[in-house]
Each structure stands twice: as structure tokens, then as C-alpha cells.
């Protein structure tokens, strides 16, 4: 997975405005920068296009020395590095509670990745450092996981192994797509290229029943932490 613009908003009022029908200000800045209007409305960059500032390995608490590459304004993971013990999951140094996250990403043929949120890297000495709600990034056309799970709940934009996406617009492999994750309390939305594909509420009985039928059924309180890190 490759990313060229990664930014978040931590302004609850703006999230209310977004759900009421407003969108990110038009006339956005070039990649990895923000316009004055974007800054004024509360947007902040999570990736500056040049450094690993704000990110760390989920377990070592430092940015990996190999596996991840920052070049030409893009953050790229090399799949081969996993076999060599390099790279690994990276998480934000900061934690987030109510936010809107936008990511421009590109996936290669047969790719399987994701964006996780509400990640807890402290409990039980980091035992949950890789467990969290996941915005699935998958090449639905060429990866076998698209046919696994239940009714497509492991496909692009879906809440991995829990909720199948609907009405998604996928630009395909080697093309730029824009993912958006909106969290307002326990209410969450997944968007892809301007189209909402998943909407759910955490913590209620319906959520607990859903988790009980998933691979996360053994993770007590899965997806119910009030704030956490974002993981790539």
C-alpha cells in the first residue's frame, strides 16, 4: 500500500458539519500540505511527505529502519520486508477519539493491507498492538481473501471480517483511491472515493453480537476503547 496524502481532523464540530452535508474545503493544497482554509477548519497532516515524524513501530516504539520507504512524497511498504523481519506495523504516536481521517492510497496487484484504528499498544505489554477495527485495503479482483469470510466482509473498504461494504467505487490496482474514516463517538463510517460504503455503531448489543460471530470473538471488548492509535 502506498500513501501520498494522509491527514486527520480532530474537531468534533467539523464532524457534525460533515455529517450534515459539508465536505472538505474545495481547492485543496498539493500533496502533503494544507491550505490556510484547511488549517483553519482543523485539519492536521499525519504524514509530511518527507519524514516519519508522528509514526512508530507498534511494538518497538521507534520507526522501522527497513521495510518502509519515504520517497517522492509517498510512504510505501515493501511486502518482501515482512519475510526478512523488517518493517512491521506502524502506528501514530498520538491517540485519537473523534476524528475524520483521509488517506490517498494505491495498492498493487494482489495486495492485502488495511488501516486500523482504536489501537491499544499498552495493555498487557502490547498484546493488543495489532488488534483493532480495520478499514480493509484489498485487491478484490486478485486476492483470495475477497472470497473468504462471510458475504464479502473481507473486501476493500469493509470493516474487516465484520461488515461488508456497499456501493463502493474502486479505482482499481495501481490507481489512486481516497479512503475516509469518520468517527463520532461510537458511530463510524467508511468512505471510498466520496462514496459511503460502511456505517455502524460500536458498543451496543448489535455490535457485540456481530463481534461474537467474527474472528475477534476471543478479544474481550473488541473495538470498544474510547481512544487509540491509527495503524498501517
Domain CATH for 127: 2.60.120.560
Which residues lie below 8 Å from residue 212, measured CB to CB, with a gap of 6+? none
| Residue 30: band (very low, low, confident or very high) from pLDDT cuts 50, 70, 90 | confident
Q: Are 139 and 109 in contact (CB under 8 A)?
A: yes
Q: Report the distance separating Cα 74 and Cα 5, nearest Å.
A: 8
Summarised one tens digit per residue, pLDDT across range 95-111 is 999 999 999 999 989 99
**Residue 209: other Cβ atoms inside 10 A:** 9
Give the cell for residue 8: 486527520
Residues above pLDDT 90, as percent of the chain:
61
Instruction: Supply the pTM of this predicted model.
Output: 0.87
Residues of the domain holding 119: 2-231
Q: Does residue 93 surpass a pLDDT of 70?
A: yes
Structurally, how many domains does the chain consist of?
Answer: 1
Residue 197 to residues 46, 97, 136, 156, 194: CA-CA distances in angstroms? Answer: 24, 21, 12, 10, 9
First to last CA, the chain: 9
Rounded Cα–Cα distance for residues 121 and 80 (Å) = 25
pLDDT value of residue 155: 97
* Measured distance CA(23)–CA(14) in Å, rounded: 9
Q: Determine the Cα–Cα distance for residues 26 and 37; give it in Å rounded to an integer.
A: 9
Report d(CA 117, CA 6) in Å as an integer: 14
Nearest to 213 by CA among 177, 165, 159: 159
At residue 107, the 3 state secondary structure works out as coil
Q: What is the pLDDT of residues 119-165, one digit of tens each?
A: 998 888 777 788 899 999 999 999 999 999 899 999 999 999 999 99
Q: Are 44 and 7 in contact (CB under 8 A)?
A: yes
| Ranges assigned E (strand) in the chain | 2-9, 43-45, 55-57, 68-71, 74-77, 90-92, 99-106, 112-119, 133-138, 177-184, 187-192, 195-201, 229-231
pLDDT tens sequence across 165-205: 999 999 999 999 999 999 999 999 999 999 999 999 999 99
Amino acid at each position: 500500500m502506498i500513501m501520498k496524502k494522509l491527514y486527520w481532523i480532530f474537531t468534533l464540530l467539523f464532524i457534525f458539519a460533515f455529517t450534515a452535508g459539508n465536505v472538505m474545503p474545495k481547492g485543496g493544497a498539493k500533496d502533503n500540505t494544507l491550505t490556510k482554509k484547511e488549517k483553519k477548519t482543523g485539519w492536521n497532516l499525519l504524514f509530511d511527505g518527507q519524514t516519519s515524524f508522528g509514526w512508530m513501530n507498534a511494538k518497538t516504539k521507534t520507526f522501522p529502519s527497513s521495510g518502509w520507504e519515504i520517497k517522492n512524497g509517498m510512504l510505501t511498504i515493501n511486502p518482501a520486508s515482512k519475510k526478512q523481519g523488517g518493517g512491521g506495523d506502524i502506528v501514530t504516536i498520538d491517540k485519537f477519539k473523534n476524528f475524520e481521517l483521509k488517506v490517498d492510497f494505491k495498492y498493487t496487484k494482489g495486495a492485502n493491507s488495511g488501516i486500523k484504528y482504536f489501537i491499544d499498544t499498552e495493555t498487557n505489554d502490547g498484546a493488543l498492538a495489532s488488534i483493532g477495527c480495520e478499514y480493509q485495503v484489498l485487491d478484490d479482483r486478485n486476492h483470495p481473501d475477497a472470497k473468504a469470510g462471510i458475504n464479502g466482509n473481507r473486501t476493500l473498504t469493509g470493516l474487516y471480517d465484520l461488515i461488508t461494504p456497499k456501493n463502493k467505487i474502486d479505482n482499481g490496482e495501481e490507481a489512486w483511491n481516497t479512503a475516509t474514516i469518520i468517527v463520532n463517538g461510537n458511530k463510524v463510517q467508511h468512505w471510498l472515493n466520496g462514496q459511503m460504503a460502511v456505517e455502524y455503531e460500536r458498543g451496543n448489543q448489535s455490535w457485540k453480537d456481530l463481534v461474537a460471530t467474527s474472528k475477534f470473538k476471543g478479544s474481550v471488548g473488541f473495538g470498544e476503547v474510547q481512544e487509540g492509535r491509527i495503524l498501517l
